[in-house]
Amino acid sequence: MQLYNTIIVEDEPIAAEILSDYISQVPFLKNIAICSDALYAMEILQKEKVDLMFLDIHMPKIKGMEFIKMIKNPPQIIITSAYNEYALQGFELGVLDYLLKPIEFNRFLMAVNKLTHQNNMTSSNQPVFPNEKPSIFFNVNKKRIRVLLDDILFIEGLKEYVKIYTTNGKTIVTKTQLSHLENELGKSGFLRIHRSFIVPKNKIDAYSAADVEIQGRNIPIGRGYKELIQSLMEATNNR
């Protein structure tokens, strides 16, 4: 099992202690430092190999978002904050996840488990077409089928398979894990809203506490995703 080095950047001792305790319960994580401000964290990043950083937003001296922009080669970042209005900005900066305080352990596990899925990403095997619209290839009946990301309405997980629903009414079924696609598409504007569903943010026509609507289809929001979706939608509305 690969071991990931983590650091906690948090100026509240109790919050830092909770994260440290959570990390100690995960076999593939090892915390190497607790930093009370971004300057100390920068020093650690320069000296140590850090795979994952837990970062609070409201920090002394340098705020969390500004700190992310300062780092030349950042590790994976999970934001930990009591404020939801920065969620969209965080994801635009490529963070792995955004955890709202108080953080429950099961939500923490959901976030850090994304690290293990990174090793299974297949984007490096995707052919590249310069000046073409972003796309992804799926294995279907011994063929590689290209699908434009903008044509995807939503993706449904079916145990060992996923089903991709497209704007032209066609569906594609391929053998892969939904978690693999979550990591591969996360930086392209896609959100996992349920253990069985991923949706593109720009296709959401309406939403409630229970579901999102995409072209007349109601897709449920999972219990563990409600706060994240609510914060992202509110952040979008406030822009």
Confidence (pLDDT) at 207: 87
∠ CA 233-225-93, rounded to 5°: 55
Could you read off the pLDDT of 56-110 as tens digits, one per residue? Answer: 999 888 899 999 999 988 899 999 998 888 887 888 788 988 999 999 998 899 8
Instruction: Give me 190's structure tokens.
Output: 């896609």
Find the mean pLDDT for residues 143-163: 90
218 C-beta neighbours (distance < 10 Å), count: 12
Average pLDDT of every residue of the chain? 85
Q: Is the predicted pLDDT of residue 45 greater than 90, yes or no? A: yes
Could you read off the pLDDT of 98-142 as tens digits, one per residue? Answer: 999 999 998 899 889 888 655 444 333 444 444 457 888 888 887
Taking alpha carbons only, the member of 123, 105, 130 closest to residue 186 is 123
Contacts of residue 192, Cβ cutoff 8 Å, sequence gap at least 6: 178, 182, 186, 198, 225
Task: Categorize the per-residue pLDDT at 233 as very low, low, confident or very high, splitting at 50, 70 and 90.
Answer: low
Tell me the angle at which helices 105-118 and 178-185 cross, rounded to the nearest 10 degrees. Answer: 80
Higher pLDDT, 201 or 118: 201
Q: Which domains does the chain have, with CATH numbers?
A: 4-118 (3.40.50.2300), 125-237 (2.40.50.1020)
Q: What is the DSSP letter of 21?
A: H
In percent, the amount of the chain with pLDDT more than 90 equals 46
Question: With 0-12 CB in 10 A as exposed, 13-18 as middle and 19+ as buried, what is 93?
Answer: middle
